[in-house]
Amino acid sequence: MIEIIQFGDIDVHLLQNICKEVEIVFGECVTSGKKLQVLREYFDEKRRQYESRHFLEVLARHAKNSGAEKILGITDEDLFTPGLNFIFGQAYMSGRICIISTHRLNPGFYGVRENEALLLERCAKEALHELGHCFGLEHCSDRRCIMVFSNSITDVDKKTKKFCEKCRI
């Protein structure tokens, strides 16, 4: 079973739809009503972002009392990891936990009209990608494969929600 946990207030409709997409690929998925928090002190004022490891640390503490095989955290905060300007998500390779951020997946971030269907599509792709890492998959060179590294929102939009033959779980 995969458990989806929200950080802060994430639209219930979005959570439920991501869970449905995850369920198609990985089996049972539940959205817990639990909301986790990351302390404001972890916000990097200079960058105006959060470092993703703080979210992963909170998820790791939650995982100790969870019966879920994998746990996907979802936040609307802008995330980064050292060496990168931003990230859409991050996972512990072959681990139990991962995080995605809706912040830069939202069309509104790019100054275009809000588009719920596009936001859901992007979130589903990133959720599947990060869960793929949890199941031991590395980045793929196939540009259509869900496991290709996305360096930009254009990269997210170009890839499909499918695993290529090499990456198929």
Residue 21 sits in a domain of what CATH number? 3.40.390.10
Q: Contacts for 16-21 with beta carbons within 8 Å, 24 or more apart? A: 17/120, 17/124, 18/72, 18/74, 18/120, 18/123, 18/124, 18/127, 21/120, 21/124, 21/127, 21/128, 21/161
Q: Is residue 166 part of a domain?
A: no
**pLDDT, tens digit, 9 for 90 and up, residues 49-105:** 999 999 999 999 999 999 999 999 999 999 999 999 999 999 999 999 999 999 999
Calpha distance 53→56 (Å, rounded): 5
**pLDDT, tens digit, 9 for 90 and up, residues 114-155:** 999 999 999 999 999 999 999 999 999 999 999 999 999 999
Query: In the structure, what pLDDT confidence band is assigned to residue 109 with cuts at 50, 70 and 90?
Result: very high
Range of the domain at 89: 2-158
Would you name the residues annotated as active-site residues?
130
Q: Is residue 81 part of a domain?
A: yes
pTM recorded for the entire structure: 0.95
**Does pLDDT of 169 surpass 80?**
no
Q: Is residue 39 part of a domain?
A: yes
Calpha distance 12→9 (Å, rounded): 9
* Number of domains into which the chain is organized: 1
Q: Is residue 169 part of a domain?
A: no
Calpha distance 124→128 (Å, rounded): 6
Q: Is residue 165 part of a domain?
A: no
